[in-house]
Every structure is written in C-alpha cells, then in structure tokens.
Amino acid sequence: MLRRAQVSDLPRILEINSELDKDQWTKEKFSDMFEYDFPIWVVTDNADRIIGYAVYLVCLDEARILNLVISKSFQGNGLGETLMTHLMEDAAEKFAAKYAMLEVDASNLQALALYTKLGFRVLCVRKNYYTDKYLRDAYLMQAELPVA
Ligand SMILES: CC(C)(COP(=O)(O)OP(=O)(O)OC[C@H]1O[C@@H](n2cnc3c(N)ncnc32)[C@H](O)[C@@H]1OP(=O)(O)O)[C@@H](O)C(=O)NCCC(=O)NCCS
C-alpha cells in the first residue's frame, strides 16, 4: 500500500535509512521536510509497517526526486518501481510538473536500471561528485512526466 508519510513514521523511516552505506540524512533534515510539507510517500505491508519511502519537491515544472529507499530485505519485489511510478504521477497530477530530475551514484546499478526502465535519461555526468569512501561520479537524470 502507498500513503503519505506522517511525522509519527519518522522513527521507522530513519531505521530504513540507517541500512544504507551512506546514511547522510539526519533526523533534523527529515523533520524540516515534514515541517515544509514535502511530499514524502511510504510503501507499507498489510500491517501498515513501512517498507520503503521516497520524497520529492517541485520547483516550477520540475519534480526533483530527493531520495528513494526500499528496506534491504524487501528489495527486488517491484516496490521501488511502484513507489517511483507513483511519485511521478503524483508530481504531474498535484503540481503539474512536466519533468522529473534526480541525481544518482553512477556505480548504483540497481537504481540506474530502475530509473532507465522508467524513462530517465542521463543529462550530464558530475565527475567525482561523491567523495565519501572513494571518488564516484554522479549522473544527473531526467524523465518526462505523464500529462495530467
Ligand atoms: C534502487 C532501489 C530503490 C530499487 O528498489 P527495488 O524495490 O529493489 O526495485 P524493483 O524490485 O522495483 O525493481 C524495478 C526495476 O529496477 C531494476 N532493478 C532492481 N534491482 C535490480 C538489480 N539487483 N539488478 C539490476 N536491476 C535491478 C530492474 O530494472 C527492475 O525491473 P525488472 O524487475 O523488470 O527487471 C533499491 O535497490 C534501494 O532502495 N537501494 C538502496 C537505496 C538507493 O540506492 N536508492 C536510490 C537513490 S538515487
């Protein structure tokens, strides 16, 4: 099931985020996003336990996808695709966004495959963009959104 996140979901969202190798999103950052009413969506199981989340913001006609995470043990079941597809439809319907943009680690093959499947194309490469652990490039990717 998909639903908008509530502030009370924050502990579980932080828990999922902490599974990442590079967990750079602080509790304060999430709290700000709730305060400013960023669209944060979660995917849940039948017992409403959160399995993944995604967040975006809209600037003019562009939806910027800020993060998309599915808890490790639930990956590979189509949930990332479901959540991302929903985000793209939501941004088009509610905010009349025409494009979606995101930045992705060029070595993140799962995410790259997902975004390519959903119509994202690489706009440019940001060389040595990620500097934690070792240098990695980032791809700036863009997709057209469905006309609402
Ligand atoms: C990237 C991520 C969100 C994908 O979510 P997921 O639920 O595992 O992906 P899905 O099961 O919905 O897969 C959808 C598509 O993604 C691609 N994909 C997913 N896992 C893949 C893998 N291990 N290898 C290759 N492609 C993969 C495929 O194109 C797949 O479509 P298909 O099943 O028809 O082949 C998930 O791996 C994740 O949370 N990773 C850690 C956080 C992260 O890197 N987020 C991206 C930040 S930019």
Asked if 123 contacts 141 with a C-beta cutoff of 8 angstroms, the reply is yes
**CATH fold of 2-144:** Aminopeptidase (3.40.630)
Per-residue pLDDT tens digits for 101-139: 999 999 999 999 999 999 999 999 999 999 888 899 999
Q: Is the CB of 85 under 6 A from ligand 1?
A: no
Which ranges constitute the DSSP H helices of 22-124?
27-35, 79-95, 109-117
Q: Which ligand 1 atom is the nearest neighbour of the CA of 19?
A: 41
Band of residue 23 on the pLDDT scale cut at 50, 70, 90: low
Atom of ligand 1 nearest to the CA of 71: 39
Of 32, 31, 14, whose CA–CA distance to 23 is shortest?
A: 14
pLDDT tens per residue across span 57-103: 999 999 999 999 999 999 999 999 999 999 999 999 999 999 999 99
Of 114, 129, 141, the one to substitute when testing ligand 1's pocket (max ligand atoms within 8 A of C-beta) is 114
pLDDT at 146: 86
Q: Give the position, in ligand 1's atom list, of the atom nearest the Cα of 104.
A: 48
Closest by CA position to 64, among listed 137, 142, 5, 129: 142
